[in-house]
Amino acid sequence: MNATIWHNPRCSKSREALALLRDAGIEPIIVEYLKDPPSRAELARLYARAGIAPRDAMRKDAPKVANDEAALDAMAADPALIERPLVETDKGVVLGRPPERVRDIL
């Protein structure tokens, strides 16, 4: 199975999600999104596939935005606003909070 994790190694939830993938025998593509941020279009694609409104995918301490378009603009401009971890497999995309949600797409 193919998998990609948009990962922050300093985040315990992100590390837990990565461990779940590896425990399932999957070695994912790891994208450290703070160093290699996804484009606005990639974020829109991921959230659409996950069925998540972009505003709901921002970190809880992020500034409030007017709508989903503004959320995508803000996250593309400042990837630190992206809630993590975001995991994509052949079966779908989930926001791994809690990390156990990753099991839904394995």
> Domain count of the chain?
1
Which pLDDT score is estimated for 62? 94
Q: Considering 4, 11, 24, 52, which one is annotated as catalytic?
A: 11
Distance separating alpha carbons of residues 102 and 23, to the nearest angstrom: 12
Residue 92 to residue 106: CA distance in whole angstroms: 9
* Cβ neighbours, 10 Å, residue 69: 13
pLDDT at 13: 96
Residue 15 DSSP one-character state: H
Q: Which residues pair with 95 in a beta bridge?
A: 86
Check if 91 is active-site. no
pLDDT at residue 4, rounded to an integer: 98
CATH number at residue 92: 3.40.30.10
Compute the distance between CA of residue 51 and CA of residue 24 in angstroms, rounded to an integer: 24
Q: What is the mean pLDDT of each run of 10 residues along the chain (106 residues)?
A: 96 97 98 97 98 96 96 98 96 96 96
Predicted pLDDT of residue 70: 98
pLDDT of residue 16: 98
pLDDT score recorded for residue 60? 92
The pLDDT score that the predictor gives to residue 59 is 95
List the domain range (segments joined by +) for residue 12. 3-105
